[in-house]
Amino acid sequence: QVQLVESGGGLVQPGGSLRLSCVASLNFFSRHAMGWYRQAPGKQRELVAIIFSGGSTNYGDFVKGRFTISRDNAKNTVYLQMDSLKPEDTAVYYCYARGLKEYWGQGTQVTVSS
């Protein structure tokens, strides 16, 4: 059974940083696109960032250079470094994997508040 396990969420002050991690129990991890989505209360789930098997990346428009997605294929792990966090970044962040099928993690809460 495929599992995506996120960690690294929490409470941070505006302007602060967090690093999310997602470990995936996927065969052929390197062949999967890996990403992060988020969902705030009352809003639709939206793409934060995605990194493809070749290493190219896409980001949501709201990121504006503040977040960086990366992957370590040897560790079956994808990371999201989030800097200059804003209160509007508060949401549940979900890890996502796409190969022949799509998989989702359970989510990790990120709260940006003073």
Rounded Cα gap, residues 79 and 7, in angstroms: 10
> How confident is the chain (114 residues) per 10-residue block, as mean pLDDT?
95 98 95 98 97 96 95 97 98 97 97 97
Give the chain's radius of gyration (CA, Å): 13
Identify which of 87, 80, 50, 51 has the alpha carbon closest to the alpha carbon of residue 66.
Answer: 80
C-beta pairs of 65-74 under 8 Å, 24+ apart in sequence: 69/34, 69/35, 69/36, 71/34, 73/29, 73/30
pLDDT at 95: 98
Rounded Cα gap, residues 107 and 91, in angstroms: 10
